[in-house]
């Protein structure tokens, strides 16, 4: 397919990898194609889709659609698609964004402007998280609270701080720097390529900026199966001690359940346990509300209480699947875990003095 002609050189090349994304791609492209205030070009990379992804991409005039070749041995499918999507780009900025994102009007111009103001070479955001089902409302707030607690954006954005974070749902890079460092080819064998890309930028002395933003939103998982598969792939690589976090979440739920039972029995029997239990329940809920806000509405916090044991199970499951020699699945592809320890958490600090996060 011929590259669309533009009257001015695009300032931003938007690259959207898509593998069986018929449920979300149309909404994403509608939000991107209507952006104003900045010159841009959009490329959708069809990564072997078997649904209507290709047809949806082609239905948007001016959107360039290419088909990625099958990834060579040892290269992840997403990296392979991103590499091919960026080939031949001439824009000053490259934006890698997922097909399940939604970009508010004017967000592209605003976020590029912010990246330029902070002199970022790699600018990434944690978008607003959409939750459409009870399982999403139970799980997503708990996990994102853990992420926010472990990786404060202010530390990531401090050039003197060894912590680095990036979110593959929105990664904006200066093209010249990206190409100089080897781009996604330099991290093509990594399962969590975004964290490795951010690490490459920061250890090379370039500015990495990370922040929360409501200008972009995303619904990561639309069903229980994809939620389990996605977090199984990620959690053990995100956190240094996944089993410890699993135990803590389970104990929190057990403590809340015990206090709730004490409250109920106290009211039935009319003794002091009702007051003690009620105080405990209210205290627990207040702490959870503070921990989850402002990323998630307060009304879903009760659902997050019920999600604590499920999150604990997901951490254990991720740890089991990410052990040496194991395999994980994502988007119909299987990836083998190396026999040697994967560089995450403290091992990254030892090797490169950079602590990494990918959401």
What tens digit of pLDDT does each residue of 312-351 get? 999 999 998 887 656 777 777 777 665 443 433 333 333 3
Look at residues 238, 254, 288 and tell me which one is the last residue of a structural domain.
238
Q: Which residue has the higher pLDDT, 292 or 144?
A: 144
The pLDDT of residue 175 is 97
H and E: helices and strands count for the chain? 13, 10
Which candidate, 94, 112, 101, places its Cα nearest to that of 38?
Answer: 112
Where residue 234 falls (left for φ over 0; alpha for ψ -120 to 50; beta otherwise) is alpha
Residues 113 and 160 in one domain: yes
pLDDT average, residue stretch 165-185? 96
Tokens 């009620």 belong to 278
pLDDT average, residue stretch 168-186? 96
Question: Is 315 part of any domain?
Answer: yes
Cα–Cα dist 98/87, whole Å:
18
Residues 202 and 299 in one domain: no
Q: Which residue has the higher pLDDT, 283 or 117?
A: 117
- Quick one: tokens of 256? 């809340």
Residues 34 and 118 in one domain: yes
Look at residues 209, 238, 267 and tell me which one is the last residue of a structural domain.
238
Enter the DSSP assignment of 168.
T
Residues 110 and 175 in one domain: yes
pLDDT average, residue stretch 90-114? 97
| Orientation angle between helical segments 77-86 and 193-203, nearest 10 degrees | 60
Total domains in the fold of the chain: 2
Residues 250 and 110 in one domain: no
Task: Enumerate the H helices of the chain as residue ranges.
Answer: 25-33, 53-58, 77-86, 107-117, 134-150, 153-156, 175-180, 193-203, 224-238, 242-269, 273-292, 301-321, 346-352
Domain residues for 254? 242-330
Residues 98 and 200 in one domain: yes
Question: Is 121 part of any domain?
Answer: yes
Q: What is the CATH number of the domain that holds 37?
A: 3.90.550.10
Residue 281 has pLDDT above 80, yes or no: no
Q: Which residue has the higher pLDDT, 113 or 263?
A: 113
């Amino acid at each position: 397919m011929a590259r669309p002609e533009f009257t001015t050189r695009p300032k931003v090349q938007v690259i959207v990898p898509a593998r069986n994304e018929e449920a979300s791609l149309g909404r994403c492209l509608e939000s991107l194609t209507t952006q104003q205030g900045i010159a841009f070009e959009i490329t959708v990379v069809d990564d072997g889709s078997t649904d209507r992804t290709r047809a949806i991409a082609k239905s948007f005039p001016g959107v360039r659609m290419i088909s990625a070749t099958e990834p060579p041995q040892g290269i992840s499918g997403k990296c392979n698609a991103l590499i091919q999507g960026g080939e031949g780009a001439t824009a000053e900025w490259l934006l890698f964004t997922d097909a399940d994102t939604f970009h508010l009007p004017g967000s592209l111009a605003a976020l590029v402007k912010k990246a330029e103001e902070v002199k970022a070479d790699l600018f990434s955001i944690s978008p607003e998280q959409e939750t459409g089902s009870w399982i999403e409302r139970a799980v997503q707030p708990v996990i994102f609270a853990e992420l926010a607690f472990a990786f404060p954006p202010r530390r990531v954005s401090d050039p003197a701080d060894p912590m680095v974070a990036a979110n593959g749902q929105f990664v904006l890079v200066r093209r010249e720097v990206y190409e100089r460092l080897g781009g996604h080819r330099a991290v093509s064998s990594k399962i969590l390529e975004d964290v490795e890309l951010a690490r490459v930028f920061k250890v090379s002395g370039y500015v990495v900026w990370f922040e929360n933003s409501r200008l972009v939103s995303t619904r990561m998982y639309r069903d229980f199966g994809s939620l389990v598969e996605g977090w199984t792939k990620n959690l053990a690589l995100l956190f240094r001690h996944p089993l410890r976090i699993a135990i803590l979440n389970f104990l929190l739920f057990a403590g809340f359940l015990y206090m709730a039972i004490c409250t109920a029995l106290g009211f039935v029997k009319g003794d002091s346990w009702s007051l003690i239990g009620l105080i405990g329940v209210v205290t627990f809920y207040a702490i959870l509300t503070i921990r989850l806000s402002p990323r998630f509405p307060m009304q879903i916090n009760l659902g997050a209480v019920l999600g604590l044991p499920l999150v604990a199970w997901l951490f254990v499951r991720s740890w089991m699947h990410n052990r040496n020699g194991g395999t994980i699945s994502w988007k119909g592809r299987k990836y083998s875990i190396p026999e040697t320890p994967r560089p995450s958490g403290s091992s990254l600090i030892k090797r490169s003095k950079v602590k990494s996060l990918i959401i």
